[in-house]
Amino acid sequence: MTRHFLNLSDAGGDAIAVMLADAMDRKAVRTGWTKGKADSDAPLAGHTLGMIFEKNSTRTRTSFEMAMKQLGGDSIFMASGQMQLGRGESIADTARVLSRYVDAIMIRTDDHAKIEELAKYASVPVINGLTNLSHPCQIVADLLTIAEQGKALPGLEVAWLGDGNNVLNSIVEAAGIFKFNVRIAVPQGYESDSLFITAAQAAGATITLTRDAAEAVAGADVVVTDTWVSMGQDHAHDKIAAMMPYQVNERLMAGAKPDAKFLHCLPAHRGEEVTDAVLDGPQSIIWDEAENRLHGQKSILLWCFGLLA
């Protein structure tokens, strides 16, 4: 069976736990000036990841490229607009052709249906590097970042503020898998996908929906937000106005537990969804979170190649 990673549930809780442990082990031996150094076991030597980007990226592209390099493999960056995909070649044909060249495909696309189509026709693993629906690789890094803080996932209280977007969907999915709770405060009209919420609730997570930012944050262990305007969306004035009560600032953070941490997948829009004081403040662990994209990608790749769990 080809191991695709379109959502967290493709791997499941046991495999993700193994992935997190492996990511921590690999990270632990990287001390000092080891950024460019290969992992000593080079488990992906001779393997190449093809990466298709329909949208911009700093973290996902760089961390996957570095992950492949450090695991002894290689990667190819493909901007979809410069591929025949950008002038009408079908996803199915692209999947069939790329499967003859590369050993796995990562895609960042505006439409989740496209990644499902790609996975259907690819004979190599397909990895979700963000779609309109979900961002599972980000959440692997987030779970790693939370675990590094010594916080147990079961029973964790996570507060989400702002837009009900792709990142939130994957957090909610993770909540169902690891039995933590998410309190979601988003303005009317910007709610997240109810299918993810229903599935997480059925799996035993408590997902609370509120319009009150302070209520969502009260007693939280982790406070999370993301841009109010995701890639491909309009920077509409009325949306920004509706989001303002959900800005994560020092006053709001003060309602969380004293040792609460702040997460943001980045890029941040400083002064919109979060203030400088929070982003750069003592509770923020965003740079660890960004670094953990690298360690997380390695474990995702190794799982997809059948080398983990």
Residue 166 CB, nearest distance to ligand CP (Å)? 10
- Tell me if 230 contacts ligand NVA by CB under 6 A: yes
Which of 227/247 has CB closer to ligand NVA? 227
Please indicate whether residue 4 is annotated as part of the active site.
Answer: no
227 binds, among ligand NVA, ligand CP, none (CB under 5 to 8 A by kind): ligand NVA
Choose the catalytic residue: 26, 112, 264, 293.
Answer: 293
- Is residue 72 within 8 Å of residue 38, measured between CB atoms? yes
What secondary structure letter does DSSP report for 144? H
The Cα angle at residue 59 between residues 1 and 88, in degrees rounded to 5: 60
Q: Is 7 annotated as a binding residue?
A: no
Q: Which of residues 260-279 bind ligand CP (CB under 6 A)?
A: 265-266
Sequence-distant (6+) residues with CB within 8 A of 136 are: 5, 6, 7, 8, 10, 128, 170, 173
Distance CA(219)–CA(37), nearest Å, equals 41
By 3-state DSSP, what share of the chain in percent is helix, strand and coil, each rounded to 5?
45, 15, 40
- Tell me if 7 contacts ligand NVA by CB under 6 A: no
- Tell me if 166 contacts ligand NVA by CB under 6 A: yes
Sequence-distant (6+) residues with CB within 8 A of 296 are: 19, 23, 63, 137, 140, 141, 144
Which of 21/231 has CB closer to ligand NVA? 231
Count other C-beta atoms under 10 Å from residue 39's C-beta: 18
- Tell me if 268 contacts ligand NVA by CB under 6 A: no
Distance CA(221)–CA(114), nearest Å, equals 36
What secondary structure letter does DSSP report for 133? S
Tokens of residue 157, six digits: 């209280």
> Omega into 258 within 30° of 0, i.e. cis?
no
- Tell me if 130 contacts ligand CP by CB under 6 A: yes
Please indicate whether residue 269 is annotated as part of the active site.
Answer: no
Please indicate whether residue 293 is annotated as part of the active site.
Answer: yes
Please indicate whether residue 26 is annotated as part of the active site.
Answer: no
Please indicate whether residue 138 is annotated as part of the active site.
Answer: yes
- Tell me if 171 contacts ligand CP by CB under 6 A: no
Which of 167/217 has CB closer to ligand NVA? 167
Q: Is 136 annotated as a binding residue?
A: yes
Distance CA(46)–CA(307), nearest Å, equals 14
Choose the catalytic residue: 4, 10, 22, 138.
Answer: 138
Which residues does residue 160 pair with via DSSP β-bridges, in sequence order? Answer: 184, 224
Residue 252 CB, nearest distance to ligand NVA (Å)? 20
Q: What number of H helices and E strands is found in the chain?
A: 12, 9
- Tell me if 185 contacts ligand NVA by CB under 6 A: no
Window of 31-39, 45-53, 91-99, 163-171 that interacts with ligand NVA by CB under 6 A: 163-171
Please indicate whether residue 108 is annotated as part of the active site.
Answer: yes
Active site members: 108, 135, 138, 226, 265, 293
Binding positions for carbamoyl phosphate are 57-60, 84, 108, 135-138, 265-266, 293
Interacting residues toward ligand NVA by CB under 6 A: 130, 165-167, 226-227, 230-231, 265
